Structure 1
Amino acid sequence: MIKYLDLARINSRFRADIDRRIAQVLNSGQYLQGVENDNFCLNFARYCGVKYVLGVGNGLDALRIMLRAAGLGPGDEVIVPANTFIATILAITQCGCTPVPVEPNLTTYNIDPVYIERAITGRTKAIMAVHLYGQIAPMREIQELAQRYGLLVFEDSAQAHGAIYGGKRAGNLSHAGAFSFYPGKNLGALGDGGAITTNDENLYNRAHAMANYGALKKYEHYFKGCNSRLDELQAAVLDVKLKTLDRDNEKRRHIAHYYINNIKNELIINPQSYNEDAHVWHIYPVRVKKRALFQSHMQSCGIETLIHYPTPPHKQNAYKEWMQLSFPITEKIHNEVVSLPLHQELEKWEMDKIVEAANAFN
């Protein structure tokens, strides 16, 4: 069976360096807010091209703390793609803000600026750009809208580590960006982890305090904060893997292009990349109308597939107040999308087998 994602295989290449760094952390006796976190945040800031990086507990915390640190709260509307993973929506509502979901572009799966402009009201404070599946959202058009209407722009970069747009990396294309280091990400930890990227010193300082119980100094609490920190072990692992992120992303691009050039089945719609550097292929999503049959066919061929994501946020019970909303493009994507195996350790024979199986589907 070709696994959709083989984390043990992916991480085995880093085993010696990870073992060494973990031993250093254990021997140091400092497991939070130590040198490993400092080093990783500095290196990730350099990599992304931003002034500040704050390591936090996970990607949802990164989104939530980022919005709160920017001063958003009750009564503020945040425009967001309707087809994002629910964490993006959760972060907005958990800050007391109102998410305003809008349709994506059916070709790129990213938020469509045409629908953004239609959704702007006097209560709109920000646009949340989600770089879905690893492809940068149309940031030039989004920034033009933001400037025209006086809005903030944020990035959900949880799937786009290392992607480049207009000479800048994801996380450095807006007021602030949020990353997840969930193990399956292009830059993945061995557990949960996240980060906020920004060039805004005030936002960084506020976020830093909010993630530390709201304290600017020990026992001096200025905000109603939370406890969200990137621990030393995860920071050490991420720092090791950051060194090869660009090379790993290039391998992902190679595999994606191989699929695009060789999967030739009229029943399967391949994804498209509008710019090579702007897509790091966290996920390779094809669209198939007979999805269940396709997945069953691939399983019978010894290939595991997944669905990212079967149900859009506006059809989830958590947001049952949205159940009557209609987003036809979003619903079409969620009803048809299937993710094929794609990771940097995938071998040529596995790629060939996946292509052969996909082309044999009828």
Structure 2
Amino acid sequence: MSADVFVELAADDSGDARIGRMRKGVLEEIPVHAFHASPGMKAVAFAPALLMNRLRIPVPARSETEAHRSALYTIEDDLAQPIEEITLVLGPRQAGTSDRDAFVVDTALLQSWRARLEQIGLGQAVIVAESSLRSRTPAVWDFGDRVLLTRLEDSFVADKQLGDDTVRGFIAASGFSDAPVRKAGSLATLAELHLESPGVEISSGKSAQMKGLRAWQTTAALAMAGLLIWTITLYLDTRAQESAAQRADQTARQMFRTQFAGVPEPADVHAEVRRIMQDSAPGSAADFQPMASALFKAISGSDTIQLSRLSYAAAEQSLQAELRFANTADEAAFRSRLVPAGLQVESAEVTDLPGDVQGRFVLRSVP
């Protein structure tokens, strides 16, 4: 989709929107105070990936109304607001499957973005999810505050506040180790990606919201008898642990869907981590970051390990990881890498099935 103007919406309260205008095929950034909209101007605004959720889920429904209802029921246990307060938009169906990307955003936040666009004279702008952008070849874009990983089939975002080690581990685990890291201007890059392959519109006028369904929650905070226990539950895309050959035939993803039927696979994991950690008890972020980084290091020692679920209990200062291994030797090698990486196994449940070894581990930092 071509546009005269591109806008990058602010990811936090400390910044404002950034505006760029296309002139002879080149994007020229303009300060907000100096921008003057003109009638009929086509505009595209990018919704920050750090403030949205993208989940790849099976949506076998035939009609769009049925598809949205099915998607909402599928994700209801994985987000932390009443259903009336969110806007959900489905992306196109993935080739050869019933999978679709579900883009979820706080409706009040979406309305605030639209109000800001109205203020700068771009109320007609189409709002596109940054996390829906793709590239023909794998690429890692370092925007300073975040790292955007794009390829033809999907994209991921990592919040750089999680620390360099964790971000590097996430890049490797997501299958982008061979992709060059490019420091780039975010607005110009997003515009280029959108022009190459248009992203998914999340504009409220074209969004479907389901009313009257029961409230749904993320496993985030449980208050009981005055005791606040924080638990972060993250579902990581098993594609992040596949080798290039595995990604090609999607074997691991198919295994994930078979074993964890109906479980969402959010791509923007660190956006959710950041959101929860900002609200959580002091010190939880500091505990989680080095432990997650250590786990990624241990996993990256093998191309065949698949991480299907990761939880962090800040009250207990422990990681709970569910992984799949090619064989028992692969599982044993993983354990041997944990202590050098800074983790120790408190408990483990390992199931050895034909051609598939599954393990559930509770991990703590080495004293």
Q: What is the TM-score of this pair, normalised by structure 2? A: 0.26
Higher relative contact order (CA 8 A, sep 6+): 1
Compare the two structures and name the one with the higher helix fraction.
Answer: 1
Compare the two structures and name the one with the higher strand fraction.
Answer: 2
Q: What is the TM-score of this pair, normalised by structure 1? A: 0.26
